[in-house]
Amino acid sequence: MLTLQQIKADPARTIAKLAVKGFDGKEAIEKVLQLDEQRRQMQLDNDNKAAELNRLAASIGALMKQGKREEAEQAKAQVAGLKENQKAIAAGLAQVEAEQRNILLTIPNLPCDMVPEGKTAEDNVVEKTGGPMPDLPADALPHWELAKKYNIIDFDLGVKITGAGFPVYVGKGARLQRALIQFFLDQANEAGYTEIEPPYVVNEASGYGTGQLPDKEGQMYHCEVDNLYLIPTAEVPVTNIYRDVILSEDELPKMNCAYSACFRREAGSYGKDVRGLNRLHQFDKVEIVRIEKPENSYAALEKMKDHVQGLLEKLGLPWHILRLCGGDMSFTSAITFDFEVWSAAQKRWLEVSSVSNFETYQANRLKCRYRGSDKKTHLCHTLNGSALALPRIMAALLENNQTPQGIVIPEVLRKYTGFDIID
């Protein structure tokens, strides 16, 4: 969440930046500042009463020594009254601070200056394009038909077992899925990321820590009996490793990667864009997460983008990078770059990765800090990215690599699959 220092430094700029994300923050920011002034006055009152209480408590002994028992008893009564008063102020302070925090939790992160203005995906900026465009015949099959033709993904069986959005990978399809996961993990390891195998369920504090709660509560699967949530991405458990942690400066950066299944309700999804692997309720993904010093985070963001680009190039997929406009960004992000691959049979771009810098927004929720050379604690910057999400990568690989003989497996995956063609 935003820090009070950010808001108080320039409230007008804060409101203007929130407007880039399509968020009218005037009322919320004014209320936060009003509550902060109220808190300051209550704290000052409490401090004054504490000083008076200490003075009276110190005087009681002196009065007793002087034989002024009646005055000492009066001082004791005043002390008791001040203590009760302090309890009331403390309760009031807690209420004000809770109200202020609840409002702050509803305010999105500020977009950085590189974020273009705009309301929808149509306003996103194409930053870079690469990869060979496939030359397929007009009757090229979409991946859901290829999956059925070669018996590698069974969507109907997934519906039978669970419901729509839960496919079953079969035979060479399952092996290709596993090959992609291992390839992505190996590449992350070579880039210096430490692999984590996280839980697939998290508690409420973890959801609030990375910003899924309260913003995306309706999109998460909630185990109500235990009050636990199925993770929408490995970002959540991995970043929460650093919740309530103070790192030393020489421990940074922290670089982690994790494979996990991901669970999203995708409420309201419908139409042709949800066919096949395009939009699932359960899918596999390898995530990369970095904890950085603020002055290094944007250089780290570029390294993450280069890493994802390298994966797509090694897979031989056509790709482009989008710099998201304010209206298309997530609640928690300061800047996001989406990677999309070209789906030859569907003739459209499919998102396969989002790489984001959250600056101090998540770190403030998490209380993720480092102790600098000045011996003071500072908020870290947190970053994460998909490297990569599998369903649409699988879709593009199947569609773009189809031939009359079968589906050709990219060279980099063959040592993992044990075969070079699906026939």
What percentage of the chain carries pLDDT values higher than 90? 85
pLDDT tens per residue, range 352-392: 999 999 999 999 999 999 999 999 999 999 999 999 999 99
DSSP 269-292: --SGGGSTTSS-SEEEEEEEEEEE
What is the domain partition of the chain in residue ranges?
4-104, 121-422
Angstrom distances, CA of residue 335 to CA of 74, 212, 381, 382: 62, 17, 12, 12
Report the pLDDT averaged over residues 66-94. Answer: 81
Model pLDDT, residue 279 = 93
DSSP 355-417: EEE-TTHHHHHHT-EEE-TTS-EEE-EEEEEEEEEHHHHHHHHHHHTEETTEEEPPGGGHHHH
The token pair at 334 is 């300061």
CB within 8 Å of 26: residues ≥ 6 apart:
15
The CATH number of 121-422 is which of 3.90.1640.30, 3.40.720.10, 3.50.50.60, 3.30.930.10?
Answer: 3.30.930.10
pLDDT tens per residue, range 288-301: 999 999 999 999 99
Q: Does the global pTM surpass 0.75?
A: yes
The CATH architecture of the domain made up of 4-104 is Orthogonal Bundle (1.10)
Angstrom distances, CA of residue 50 to CA of 59, 79, 88: 14, 10, 13
CB within 8 Å of 292: residues ≥ 6 apart:
252, 253, 300, 380, 381, 382, 383
Model pLDDT, residue 76 = 78
Helix (H, G, I), strand (E, B) or coil at 265: coil
pLDDT tens per residue, range 227-259: 999 999 999 999 999 999 999 999 999 999 999
Check whether 73 has a pLDDT greater than 80.
no
pLDDT tens per residue, range 317-327: 999 999 999 99
